[in-house]
Amino acid sequence: MNKILEINNLAVSFKTFFGEVEAVRDISFYVGKQETVAIVGESGCGKSVTANSIMQLLPMPPAYFKAGEIKFDGENLITKTEKEMQKVRGNRISMIFQDPMTSLNPTMKIGQQIIEGLINHQGLSREEAKKRAIEALELVSVPQPEKRIEQYPHEFSGGMRQRVMIALAMVSNPQLLIADEPTTALDVTVQAQILDLMKDIQEKLGMSIILITHDLGVVADMSDRVVVMYAGQIVEQGLTDEIFKNTSHPYTKKLLASVPSLDMNKDEALLSIDGTPPDLYIPPKGCAFYDRCDYAMKICKDHMPQFTEHSSTHISRCWLNHPMSKDAKGSEV
Partner 1 sequence: MQEPLISVKNLRKFFNVGNGNKLKAVDGISFDIFHGETFGLVGESGCGKSTAGRTLTRLYDATEGEVIFNGKNIFNLSRHDMADVRKNLQMIFQDPYASLNPRMTVADIVAEPLEIHRVYKSEKEKNARVVELLELVGLNEEHAMRFPHEFSGGQRQRVGIARALALNPKFIVCDEPISALDVSIQAQVVNLLKELQDKLGLTYLFIAHDLSMVRYISDRVGVMYLGHMMELAESEELYDNPLHPYTKALLSAIPIPNPDIQRNKKRIMLDGDVPSPINPKEGCRFVDRCSYAIDKCRQVTPIFQEQEPGHYAACHRIGEI
Partner 2 sequence: MMNNIDFKPELFEKADKSNQNADKIHRPSIKYWPDVWRRLKQNKLAMLGLTLIIVMAIMSFVGTYMSGYAYFEQHLDMTNQKPNSAFWFGSDELGRDMFTRVWFGARYSLAIGVIAALIDFLIGVIYGGVAGMASRRVDSIMMRLAEIIYSIPYLLVVILLSVVLQTEGGGSSMFVIILAMSLTGWVPMAILVRGQVLQLKETEYSLASESLGAGKGWILRKHIIPNTLGPILVNVTLTIPRAIFAEATLGFLGLGLQAPKSSLGTLANDGLAGLAVGNTYQILIPAILISLIMFSFNVLGDGLRDSLDPRLRK
The site for partner 2 (CB under 8 A) is made up of 17-18, 274-276, 279, 281-282, 290-292, 295-301, 303-304, 306, 319, 322, 324-325, 327-329, 331
DSSP 279: P
> Could you say whether residue 82 binds partner 1 (CB under 8 A)?
no
> Could you say whether residue 107 binds partner 1 (CB under 8 A)?
no
Given the complex with partner 2, which of 244 and 295 has the nearer CB atom?
Answer: 295
SS3 153: helix
SS3 140: coil
In the complex, minimum distance from the CB of residue 60 to partner 1, in angstroms, rounded to a whole number: 25
Which of partner 1, partner 2, none has residue 305 at its interface (CB below 5 to 8 Å by kind)? Answer: none
Q: Which of residues 225-264 bind partner 1 (CB under 8 A)?
A: 240-241, 244-245, 254-256, 258-264
Which of partner 1, partner 2, none has residue 256 at its interface (CB below 5 to 8 Å by kind)? Answer: partner 1
Piece in contact with partner 1 (CB under 8 A), picked from 18-26, 58-66, 145-153, 272-280: 272-280
- Cβ atoms of residues 259 and 321 within 8 Å: no
- Cβ atoms of residues 4 and 73 within 8 Å: yes
Q: How far apart are CA 207 and CA 172, in angstroms?
A: 11
Burial of 270: CB neighbours in 10 Å, binned 0-12, 13-18, 19+:
exposed
Which of partner 1, partner 2, none has residue 272 at its interface (CB below 5 to 8 Å by kind)? Answer: partner 1
> Could you say whether residue 39 binds partner 1 (CB under 8 A)?
no
Which of partner 1, partner 2, none has residue 301 at its interface (CB below 5 to 8 Å by kind)? Answer: partner 2
> Could you say whether residue 17 binds partner 1 (CB under 8 A)?
no
Backbone angles phi, psi at 310, to 5 degrees: -95, -25
Of residues 69, 47, 71, 165, the one with CA closest to residue 114: 165
In the complex, minimum distance from the CB of residue 123 to partner 2, in angstroms, rounded to a whole number: 37
Given the complex with partner 2, which of 248 and 325 has the nearer CB atom?
Answer: 325
Of residues 37, 7, 3, 34, the one with CA closest to residue 219: 37
Q: How far apart are CA 136 and CA 139, in angstroms?
A: 5
SS3 177: strand
β-strands 225-230, 36-40 pairing: parallel
Q: Which of residues 170-229 bind partner 1 (CB under 8 A)?
A: 187-193, 195-196, 214-221
- Cβ atoms of residues 38 and 226 within 8 Å: yes
In the complex, minimum distance from the CB of residue 156 to partner 1, in angstroms, rounded to a whole number: 9
> Could you say whether residue 276 binds partner 1 (CB under 8 A)?
yes
DSSP 313: S
Bin 41: left if φ > 0, else alpha if -120 < ψ < 50, else beta: left
Which of partner 1, partner 2, none has residue 57 at its interface (CB below 5 to 8 Å by kind)? Answer: none
Written as one letter, the residue type at 109 is K
* Residues in contact with partner 1, shown as a per-residue x/- string from 280 to 309 under the rule CB under 8 A: ------------------------------
Query: Which residues contact partner 1 (rule: CB under 8 A)?
Result: 42-43, 157-160, 187-193, 195-196, 214-221, 240-241, 244-245, 254-256, 258-264, 266, 269-274, 276-277
